[in-house]
Structures are given as C-alpha cells and as structure tokens.
C-alpha cells in the first residue's frame, strides 16, 4: 500500500452502492495497520452477508476486525495475516442458484443434485434457497449437497426484499415468469452498478423472449404466467446475465441463440459443460 495513505482519521466509504468497496478496504488495510485503523460506512450498507463472509475469512487468517454495528469497522494495530494451514472452500452459492432454478422449474425429469454447498453454507446467497422454497420448490439438503425438484406448479408469486441475495436474485426473475401472479424484487439498486445495468439488461433481454417486466429505480416487477419463446438474446458481456438467460432458454418454447456466452467464464468457467451434463 502507498506510504501516502492517511490513516490517522477514519476512512469513509459509501455503503449504498456496492459492498465490494468495503470488502477491498477490509482485506487490504491490515497490511498497513501500524495503529488502529477505522473505516466508517456512509449511508446504508447493502449486501451485508458478503461482508460477513469477508470478516469470517479474515478471522481465519488471524485478522480480528472490531465491528460497531454495520457503520464502523476497526482494524487493530499490528494486524498481520497468518496462514490457517488448511481451509475448506465451499462451492459458490450464487452459481448454485441457476441449477436450483432449473430443478424448481422442472427443466429435467429427475431431481437436480448440487454437490459442494448445502443449506448450512456461510454464504449469504444460500438464502436464495429460501426464496425458491417460498415459491414452491422442493429442496432437500445434507452435508454439502442440495437436491431440488419441481413442487408447487405454477410457482407462487412473491414480493421480496433481495438486498441479502443481490447476485442470486437475478435467477428469481426467470423463475417469476412461471409464477401464478406478479413477482416484485426490491432493494437491488446495486444491480445498476455491476458489469452492466442489470435491471435494464434483464428487462430488455427477457423481454425479447416474451417476458413482461416493469423496471423501477431499485427493482422490478415480473408478470407471471408467461411461456417464454426462443429468441436472439445477448449476455451484454455480463456473466450473471449469460447464466440467467441460459436458465430461461431451457424452458422456452423454441430455440434460443445467446450471443457472447463466454461471459459466464468470469465466475463459472465450466457452466456450459455442467449445463450440458444436466441435459444428458
């Protein structure tokens, strides 16, 4: 870190845009903590479960961050990273959401089984599973596995604050098309400052497949009871858009051509291989 850093007074970071800025500071400032270093969050902190993951990971490496609510974080003087020797890395719960959705939508005749992550995961996005169950999915879980199959059909419409699952909530937008009424996903303004403006992109691309979506400042309302049709769609170079559209394509009538599918590799390099195995 630069010797020009001024650490004598609290460092302020906005919390209402993306939690990634705070995560970056929490992971890097211990390298410069010659005295207690304070980070103050300005505004409401979104995506709190992701910060929980960061704090848990830092604790594994010997960095004990002191937290005063979600407004103030103190990195003790003399903090340094110590290898834990061995850690277990869970599979990505955000990536699991696509296959949870495919199981809930009955995209395959058999149940979908996911290895590497279970209901006890420390990742915030595992709570996508709760939303899927609320919509009617049947899910069983064990140590590091989930098994999903279609339950209630059509799915149940929901009105959900998705601030705790902003990445996984994109998959809910696809599931909502097969619900028994309008579904509203709220408190996801962070979608607008990701790889793309995800609110606008999802509304545009799913709209090309026949979806009826009302976009608003920090969320969207998706009309249920829609049978998607095959169409030409574009990931717009966003990995989560690519994978969400892949789920939509699996249950659409007719073939879908997805432009720039390679975007999925940003977070899930083997996504298309895994999807093909599910179809086998």
Question: What would the DSSP string read from start to end of 137-195?
Answer: -EEEEETTEEEEE--SSSBPP-EEE-TT-TTTHHHHHHHGGGBSS-EEEES-GGGGGSS
Residues 232 and 61: their CA atoms lie apart, in Å, by: 47
Cα-based angle 49, 51, 54 (whole degrees, multiple of 5): 120
Catalytic residue among 167, 180, 197, 218: 167
Residues 238 and 262: their CA atoms lie apart, in Å, by: 9
Annotation marks residue 167 as catalytic: yes
218: tokens are: 């920090």
b/e sequence 120-138, b meaning 16+ C-beta within 10 Å: ebebbbbbbbebbbebbbe
Give the DSSP H or E segment for 95: helix 93-104
Q: Return the residue matching tokens 């990505």.
A: 92
Catalytic center residues: 167
């Amino acid at each position: 870190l630069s010797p020009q850093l001024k650490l004598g007074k609290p460092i302020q970071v906005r919390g209402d845009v993306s939690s990634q800025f705070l995560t970056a500071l929490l992971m890097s400032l211990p390298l410069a903590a010659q005295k207690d270093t304070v980070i103050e969050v300005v505004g409401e902190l979104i995506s709190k479960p992701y910060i929980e993951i960061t704090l848990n990971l830092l604790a594994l490496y010997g960095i004990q961050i002191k937290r005063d609510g979600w407004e103030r974080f103190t990195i003790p003087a003399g903090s340094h990273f110590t290898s834990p020797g061995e850690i277990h890395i869970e599979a990505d719960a955000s990536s699991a959401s696509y296959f949870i959705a495919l199981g809930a939508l009955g995209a395959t005749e058999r149940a979908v089984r996911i290895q590497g992550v279970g209901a006890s995961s420390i990742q915030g996005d595992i709570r996508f599973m709760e939303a899927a169950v609320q919509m009617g999915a049947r899910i069983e879980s064990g140590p590091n596995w989930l098994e999903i199959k279609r339950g209630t059909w059509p799915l149940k419409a929901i009105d959900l604050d998705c601030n705790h699952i902003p990445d996984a909530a994109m998959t809910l937008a696809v599931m909502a098309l097969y619900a028994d009424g309008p579904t509203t996903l709220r408190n996801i303004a962070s979608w607008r400052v990701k790889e793309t403006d995800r609110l606008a992109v999802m509304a545009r691309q799913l709209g090309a497949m026949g979806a009826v979506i009302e976009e608003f400042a920090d969320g969207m309302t998706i009309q249920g009871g829609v049978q998607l049709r095959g169409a030409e769609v574009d990931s717009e170079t966003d990995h989560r858009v690519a994978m969400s559209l892949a789920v939509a394509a699996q249950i659409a009538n007719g073939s879908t051509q997805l432009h720039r599918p390679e975007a999925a590799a940003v977070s899930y390099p083997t996504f298309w291989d895994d999807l093909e195995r599910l179809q086998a």
